[in-house]
Amino acid sequence: MVEARVVLTNKLGLHARSAAMLTKVAAKFESVVHLYGASKSANVKSVLMVMALGVTKGAELTITAHGPDEAACLAALTDLIANNFYEE
Amino acid sequence: MVGLVIVSHSAQIALGVKELAGQMADRGLKIVEAGGMPDGSLGTDTLRIHEAIVEADSGQGVVVLVDLGSAVLSAKTALELLEPSTARRAQIADAPLVEGSISAAVEASIGGSLAEVVAAAEAARGILKL
């Protein structure tokens, strides 16, 4: 298993569209992916669970990936977040 | 891609859910709304739902999301009016309308099968808000 700490810096946090982007990227990989917020965790392949985290700008999150393509999966997700979901 | 039909008693709710789910979906996803009655009043119209299912179907199947009570009945009747070949790949999801539609839209966008899209919609029943 691999993990990374990220800080959400996009304006809107994990709103509908950014949550959907995370789920769509995670779905391209076989690995099991989880996102850990301050008090809740979510299976990233479920957009509703990601949205239910209620994460806003500035939040620190941990992403974990476990599976045959875990390194590439984690890199793709941290890249998306680091680039503010390409929204700004 | 599996298509979606949004059935609501209110045309505005159906349109709004389509807009929200559409923002989270890929452009290729067909989402067709079937809200309200032909005269603009509140209700669900079997023929309109039937047409919406046919429109949303591109061969991979259609998931129908419904709001309350008679929407379920109207959607079931609409399924019965379909050609058998289309009827085999059309299914009503037992899911809340807004959350179910969003979840289904994302699952359909990533290439989920009919069963996977229905399952994604129905997973919305287990998500707690607080």
How large is the ipTM? 0.84
* A5/B contact by beta carbon, under 8 A: no
Q: How many CB pairs under 8 A join A and B?
A: 40
- Secondary structure of B77-112 in the HEC alphabet? HHHHCCCHHHHCCEEECCCCHHHHHHHHHHHHHCCC
Backbone phi and psi for residue B48, each to the nearest 5 degrees, phi listed first: -65, -40
**How confident is residue A38, by pLDDT bands cut at 50, 70 and 90?**
confident
Across residues A57-64, what is the average pLDDT? 94
Walk across the sheet containing A41-43 and list its strands: A2-7, A60-66, A32-36, A41-43
Q: Is B45 helix (H, G, I), strand (E, B) or coil?
A: coil
Res B128: pLDDT:
85
Task: Provide the shortest C-alpha distance from residue A13 to chain B (in Å).
Answer: 15
Cβ neighbours around A34 below 10 Å, total: 18
Q: Which residues of chain B have pLDDT under 70?
A: none
A 19-38 residues with CB < 8 A to B = 19-20, 23-24, 27-28
Give backbone dihedrals phi and psi of A5, rounded to 5 degrees, phi first: -100, 135
> Is the CB of B127 less than 8 angstroms away from the CB of A17?
no
Tell me the residue type at B65.
L
pLDDT over 70 percentage in chain A: 99
